[in-house]
Structure 1
């Protein structure tokens, strides 16, 4: 096998490999950085997202405190036990964390009271006290009545809010209307697990309250005031886990809760509950393996984007290399074509030149010499003419610049004439044939002749001296004409089968060193396509090759 010629065309394979290695390193580095970023992001989210969980979980409490509690003032102090019971039922149904409500049906007067707070001429005391709640027994609803002779402790809630009320009235500037926020703050008190609220009187009533602190009014006024004390259960707060893929377990614990068994397999964080629940906290805990899954879930989309980008770069690189490789092969094919075509032209031209010089330099030529030189010039001119015709015909067929003729031929006569011309040219060439199923068919005899000539020439050229044989089979199969050209030549290697019909392609062997431009089989392929047929090949190295051509019967 001849060594491959160096064309000077560089494929830059090493540069392509270097680029792929570089982007692979960058891809791996990007994955590493993306994973570290995902890890830090999820760890930061584990600490910061607890605020959102808290906000979502205490939304019902905020609604209760800001909207529902102030509704007491709408009754202007005239709540009774029945109305208060219905009001409490709606609250307990809507807000499960309210466990019990104590209702103080109270009065503010200008004369001292036995069960209440007395400051100067100002008095504040309950007429009746009730408690409502799902767990309150029916016989325990009423806690106190002024008409009862038994003693009852008003409790810290009543005393604390009463003292706060008296202090506020003493410091009240009656020339300035107080804001709603100021009134709400001074008419309510927040303690651990408890909110106490007194309905807010009108500004004119507040002025009278201030007068009642300093003097006895005539007649002595009496004002109705309702006070409700809401007992809250923090464990009834519904926890809304807004990040279930981040927090495995969330629970409410006392502020002093500190787990004794702190395992390295878990991560935890906490946040204090607001207002009356300030003695408690939300406690977040997740297994490290659970957090790791969260990190992986966050990392995977980033990794997929990086992988897609990397894949696109590799694909572009491969396509560039493939294009360079194809260009290299095309360059080499054209390079070999020019070399071989030059040789094909050079040989007959040289022979013609030598013959012409001999004729020119000879003073006298015998008749035998004239015939010899004439034969040489005629044969070499035929070679040049045949090569030019093949190139021209290939170009015309490839560009569909000619028309397909439709003539009826006798297939036996056609094959025999082909055999005769090739055996005359090559006496050692043995060609046999068989025809089955038809005698004539319509085709283009010139193109079919070119097809037969090319395949016959290949069969002779690529066979060893002792195996220069060709068997042609022509059959009618399913309404189509099938030709088989079976030789006993050197065969075609399997990897080369898909390339033999390519233009300018030549198999590297001892038969192709000179005298081939790689157009023969490509020309046959174009001829068959132009004749609306199909061509295929089967071959075994050192056994032979079979070309199969299928053409329409009467086109």
Structure 2
């Protein structure tokens, strides 16, 4: 028996354990770093994603401020109560955060005229009528204030503020340079807390006339229409668009002075100012740490799954390498055993032949009895060598499909009896019995069938105790199959070895194999049966015997 050390292959378990430990340590470290990365990324997202929530939430306001508000200038100051009502209706429906709109129907004259306005030299800005539109609940409620009620019922503070900005702008206007849209917009708009006041922007030609009207009394005494709308805003009616609901558990609009005292260490919070007319308010974000942790895990788990996949892939590769090395080790061991046993099988008869030859050559004369003895020895040993060579050759030919299956009619009883005669002649103590049921002849290859019977008979004799050298053969026709059974009273086969006995070069380690076995007998039988389109199986009980079952197609 060759040792693992001598075979050239060593099962270095410390190397295997080191490989598994190293890969596992890298895997665990990768998981740890991936979790830290996920945690850091979500924490950064908690800070950075607030801007996106703010942007999406105030998008309606931006649309109102940048697109809807400038539409007032399209009317060139000629809005009346009906047109203003339709315009405001659209705004109140489309932008819920606008709760009230005050419309100032305004005139600009070249005289000191308005009691309820602002007069600068010959430049006068005053109100003809003021209309108030408000939205309560889902409906719209409007209250109209006439010209005679302006002074008593309307606060002029918002109007005066924007009018002063207008007059200041006109005084400083350089009539040789067209002002930019940004400059015009900033001077005709007044943004206060929760309020936007907007004068419609006149053309550059009208602005130049305004400049003249401040300094001079014009002959045609022009009168220009100006419209001003004041929008009252409620930040609490802004619809919050939480773009990260799995990150922010709660988002609400609160005053900038809001500072909750009940926020414990179990919560994470953040804030961002709304800006513009809502600069006194902010978005307040708060999430429990357990809520944040669920988002961390939702980010981490796909990374962990990918790492697990690569870990499993590495372990699979390691297992396949180990398995291949193990298979190579076993194959090397089997080949080594095969060469050793084959050498022994060849060496024994060769040695006997050489001894017999030397005795014949050195003997001065041989008696008739000695001649017969040496002749029998030479014949038997030559048969052993020939049989071994034929088995190896036949095995190779069958594996490579290099032979054809002959189809001859075989009489089963005669065939079995000839097999019994051959083996009882060789082994007089071998007890054979047989039984044939259901048929007499069938078509098969008698040479291959004979090899099959010979190998199983030899195994039955070899692996049986001295007082149990027996074999019972049954042959039955069951439907369209020939079922052959070879039952002996030998030492049996351990259940752990049943799946290995048909492998090439495999030998069960027991006292009956100490004198050498090539390990081809049962593997050869399996190849024969497969080549004959049949099946072979075995059942065995240790120390009680073994039964081989062969099923062949019935051709007749």
TM-score by length of 2: 0.97
Residue 215 of structure 1, CA deviation: 1.5
Match of 1:52 in 2: 52
Q: Which moved more, 1:158-167 or 1:126-135?
A: 126-135
Which runs of structure 2 are paired with 1:114-513 in the superposition (5 Å)? 114-135=115-136, 141-145=143-147, 147-148=148-149, 151-513=152-514
Q: Does structure 2 retain, via aligned residues, the 8 Å contact 1:470–1:487? A: yes
Q: Which residue of 1 aligns with 2:16?
A: 16
Per the alignment, in what secondary structure is the counterpart of residue 141 of structure 1?
Answer: strand
Query: Could you tell me how far 1:428 is from its partner in structure 2?
Result: 1.3
**Post-superposition shift, 1:152?**
4.2
The 3 A distance-change label for structure 1 pair 385 and 148 is closer
* Residue aligned with 1:213, SS: helix
Question: How far does residue 408 in structure 1 lie from its aligned partner after superposition?
Answer: 0.5
Q: Distance in 1 between the 2:2 and 2:465 partners?
A: 22
- Could you say what secondary structure the match of 1:435 adopts? strand
Say if 1:272 and 1:509 are closer, same or farther in 2 by CA, change over 3 A: same
Q: Deviations over 1:137-158 (max 9, x none)?
A: 999612241x459634442210
Q: CA deviation at 1:4?
A: 5.3
CA contact (8 A) 2:2 2:333 kept: no
**Distance in 1 separating the partners of 2:31 and 2:102:** 62
Q: Which residue of 2 aligns with 1:42?
A: 42
Counterpart Cα distance in 2 of 1:150 and 1:228:
18
Partner of residue 63, structure 1: 63
User: How far apart are 1:205 and its partner, in Å?
Assistant: 0.6
Query: How many residues are aligned here?
Result: 553
Gaps of 5+ in 1: none
State the Cα distance separating 1:349 from its structure 2 match: 0.6
CA contact (8 A) 2:133 2:141 kept: no
- Aligned equivalents of 1:359, 1:415: Cα separation in 2: 39
Matched residues in 2 for 1:335 and 1:457: separation?
A: 24
Deviations 1:274-321 (A, max 9, x none): 210010000001111000000010000000000000000000000000
Alpha-carbon spacing, 1:69–1:184, altered in 2? closer, same or farther (3 Å): same
What is the alpha-carbon distance in structure 1 between the residues aligned to residue 153 and residue 452 of structure 2?
A: 124
How far the C-alpha of 1:109 sits from its partner, in A, is 0.7
Match of 2:25 in 1: 25
Distance 1:405 1:138 in 2: 105
Output one character per residue of 1:380-405: Cα deviation in whole Å (capped at 9) or x when no partner.
11111111111111111111111111
CA distance in structure 2 between the partners assigned to 1:419 and 1:365 by the alignment = 35
Q: 1:163 to 1:28 in 2, by over 3 A?
A: same
Please, what is the CA RMSD of the aligned residues? 1.5
Aligned to 1:100: 100
Q: Secondary structure at the match of 1:10?
A: coil
Residue 283 of structure 1 aligns to a residue whose secondary structure is: strand
Any idea what SS the aligned residue of 1:235 has?
Answer: helix
CA contact (8 A) 1:254 1:280 kept: yes
How far off its partner does 1:102 sit? 0.2
Q: Are the aligned partners of 1:13 and 1:321 in contact in 2 as well (CA < 8 Å)?
A: no
Residues 80 and 508 of structure 1: CA distance in aligned 2, closer, same or farther (over 3 Å) = same
Contact persistence 1:78–1:225 (CA under 8 A): yes
- Contact 2:271/2:285, CA 8 A, preserved across alignment: yes
User: Does the aligned pair in 2 maintain the 1:144–1:152 contact within 8 Å?
Assistant: no
Change in 2 beyond 3 A, CA 1:319/1:140: closer
Cα pair distance change 1:219/1:205, threshold 3 Å: same
Contact 1:111 1:121 in 2 (8 A): yes
What residue number does 1:547 align with?
548
Counterpart-to-counterpart distance in 2, 1:173 and 1:509:
117
**Structure 1 pair 138/87, CA: closer, same or farther in 2 (3 Å)?**
closer
Distance 1:149 1:372, change over 3 A: closer
Determine if contact 2:31/2:304 at 8 Å carries over to the other structure. Answer: yes
3-state SS of 1:175 partner? coil
Measured in 2, the distance between the counterparts of 1:30 and 1:497 equals: 45
1:107 and 1:344, CA in 2 relative to 1: closer, same or farther beyond 3 A? same
How far apart are residue 419 of structure 1 and its match? Answer: 1.1
Q: For 2:135, what is the secondary structure of its paired residue? A: coil
Quickly say closer, same or farther: Cα 1:275–1:231, change in 2 above 3 A.
same
Residues 220-267 of structure 1 show CA distances to partners (whole Å, capped at 9, x for unaligned) of 111100000011110111111111110011000001001021211111
Measure how far apart 1:515 and its partner are: 3.1
1:435 CA displacement:
1.0
